[in-house]
Amino acid sequence: MSASEVFEIRLPDEAATIALGEDLALALNRGDLVTLSGDLGAGKSSLARALIRTIANDEFYEVPSPTFTLVQAYDELRLPIAHADLYRLSGGDELDELGFDEFLQDGAVLVEWPEQADGMLGTPDFAIELRHPANGEQGRLVTITAQTSAAKRFTRSRAIRAFLEEHKRQFNAQPAKRRYLLGDASPRAYETVSSDFGTEILMNAPELNNEPLLPNGKTYRKTAHIAESCIPFSAIDKLIKAQGFRVPEIYAEDLANGFILMEHLGIDGVLDENRQPIVTRYLEAARFLAHFHQVEWPLSVKVAGCDDYQFAPFDRDAMMIEVDLLCSWYLPRITGKQPDEAQKQSYHAAWNEVFLKLATAENSLLLRDYHSPNLFWFEEKSGIDRIGMIDFQDAMNGPAAYDLASLALDARVTIAAELEQQIIAAYCETRKSLEKAFDEAAFMSAYAIMGAQRNSKILGIFVRLDERDGKPHYLAHLPRIQDYLRRVLTHPDLKPVADWYEKYGLLTEKKP
């Protein structure tokens, strides 16, 4: 039998029931089975309704009782939900007709009156029992028995609730409202928190320490210098803000547990309503970078209560392990077979020859993902004050050109070649107008190299997200990334890599 953990929770009123529904919703994963037991009127439907409305991000979302339909499906939600009521089920042998196995492949299943299934449901990830207090007090008592993985997720969700309560986040004297905002390619996740303080952003960044070691004795994250906690975000945010650039204000943080409550920068970005680039905003973002690269950024920054945070160099090992993702994932997708040892060695040799050309490149604080999902626009401001940014926790000390390549070759939206050249021109013209010396030819060499390195990495990551992580929607971006790669590989300093890619057919237009 798998290990489980039991949580005893008292819900004094309906607001507490809704808050528990939010906490559960934000702990659910695809494949979770949730059972809700208790007498009539114990609150099963109320809790299920709060959970579903949280996932729908709509507190007025219609959640009819499934008493007569047996199953009510919500396929359109971020996490599809099947809400079942088995009260009228005559026996467990009727379960197959309800299609729970199919629902669990893509979403989660909530089951009221699980006792009617005659023990044929299997072990639930969350077994929830609701009852009225025996002494006649108001409210409900809840017992949640959660399996190991589910218990870990729920414990963390409840810790977020405690963090918000510690920092007085309430909404009209009731618990703050939590809603899922987004996750990224890492285990980090983000929520919106609505309280009397307005709408804020909660970063949930659990510390990562369970990756396998590579032959170099390090994990992938350590080799590639990817943040393993929320400490880098906190440190870099305060450093950038001190230089006058717009980043979120941090209102509260628990660095040990990986929670940061910060300013919501709004919803206005650099794309229009059709998610197409707004040219003037991209050009201003390029000028922002030009000013950003005027700063002599330190190699470390102080963090309250922690050791000083050191900025890692974007060294050969980090660059190479990232481009290896193309060889490991994208190349087999294109050719239908794994690369042999000779191919790997020639691939590394080609990139090593190119990376040597970065020896004299201008270095700066390299933000790493300076592109449309992470940029905000403030219409009421002027100049570079119109740009705000997030998602810089993986920042390193490396070639300044990397971030311009991230912007002008935006992985999430198509940047036409003409617009790319406009973005480059806006950056270079601004650099030339400022005090710090600027070598345009050297910068453009680094731009091409970093553009090729970044887009090679992305091709590998997007195929991996499909094959390993079951996220096929990333494949829609591949034609765009292929085009970006073909553009930058025309630079003469990239000839060794361009020749290798040409040899193995990676530059032809294909749809993996």
**CATH for 338:** 3.90.1200.10
Domain of residue 77, CATH code: 3.40.50.300
Q: Do 295 and 418 lie in a common domain?
A: yes
Last-in-domain residue among 144, 166, 188: 166
Q: Do 10 and 124 lie in a common domain?
A: yes
Question: Domain for residue 239, yes or no?
Answer: no
**This prediction's pTM:** 0.89
d(CA 281, CA 124): 49
Name the residue range of residue 387's domain: 266-503
Residues in contact with 471: Cβ distance below 8 Å, sequence separation at least 6, in sequence order: 465
Question: Domain for residue 105, yes or no?
Answer: yes
Question: Domain for residue 96, yes or no?
Answer: yes
Question: Domain for residue 271, yes or no?
Answer: yes
- Dihedral of CA 268/272/274/277: which sign? negative
Total count of domains within the chain:
2
Question: Domain for residue 510, yes or no?
Answer: no
Q: Which structure tokens are listed for 366?
A: 């390299």
β-strands 309-310, 300-301: how paired?
Answer: antiparallel
Last-in-domain residue among 166, 197, 217: 166
Alpha helices in 364-477 (DSSP H): 401-408, 417-433, 440-467
Residues in contact with 336: Cβ distance below 8 Å, sequence separation at least 6, in sequence order: none
d(CA 478, CA 147): 38
Helices 316-325 & 440-467 angle (0-180, nearest 10): 50
Last-in-domain residue among 166, 184, 201: 166
Q: Do 156 and 296 lie in a common domain?
A: no
Which of these, 451, 439, 442, lies nearest to 490 by C-alpha position?
451
Question: Domain for residue 158, yes or no?
Answer: yes
Q: Do 291 and 402 lie in a common domain?
A: yes
Task: Please answer whether residues 29 and 153 qualify as being in contact, where contact means their C-beta atoms are separated by less than 8 angstroms.
Answer: yes
- Dihedral of CA 148/151/157/161: which sign? negative
d(CA 451, CA 407): 10
Residues in contact with 349: Cβ distance below 8 Å, sequence separation at least 6, in sequence order: 496
Q: Do 17 and 162 lie in a common domain?
A: yes
Q: Do 33 and 152 lie in a common domain?
A: yes
Task: Please answer whether residues 481 and 462 qualify as being in contact, where contact means their C-beta atoms are separated by less than 8 angstroms.
Answer: yes
Which of these, 86, 91, 82, lies nearest to 32 by C-alpha position?
82
Question: Domain for residue 82, yes or no?
Answer: yes
Question: Domain for residue 459, yes or no?
Answer: yes
Q: Do 316 and 436 lie in a common domain?
A: yes
d(CA 266, CA 198): 12
Q: What CA–CA distances, in Å, run from 321 to 217, 314, 327, 409, 462?
A: 13, 11, 10, 21, 15
Element (H, E) at 364: strand 363-366
Q: Do 160 and 302 lie in a common domain?
A: no
d(CA 96, CA 393): 47
- Three-class SS state of 459: helix
pLDDT digit string (tens) for the chain, length 512 residues: 468 999 999 999 999 999 999 999 999 999 999 999 998 888 899 999 999 999 999 999 999 988 888 889 999 999 999 999 888 776 666 676 777 888 888 899 999 998 888 777 889 999 999 998 887 778 899 999 999 999 999 999 999 999 999 999 999 999 999 999 976 555 789 999 999 999 999 999 987 766 787 888 788 888 888 888 899 999 999 999 999 999 999 999 999 999 999 999 999 999 999 999 999 999 999 999 999 999 999 988 887 767 788 999 999 999 999 999 999 999 999 999 999 999 999 999 999 999 999 999 999 999 999 999 999 999 999 999 999 999 999 999 999 999 999 999 999 999 999 999 999 999 999 999 999 999 999 999 999 999 999 999 999 999 999 998 888 889 999 999 999 999 999 999 999 999 999 999 887 765 55
Cα distance from N-terminal residue to C-terminal residue, the chain: 42
Strand runs labelled E in 229-347:
250-254, 259-263, 300-301, 309-310
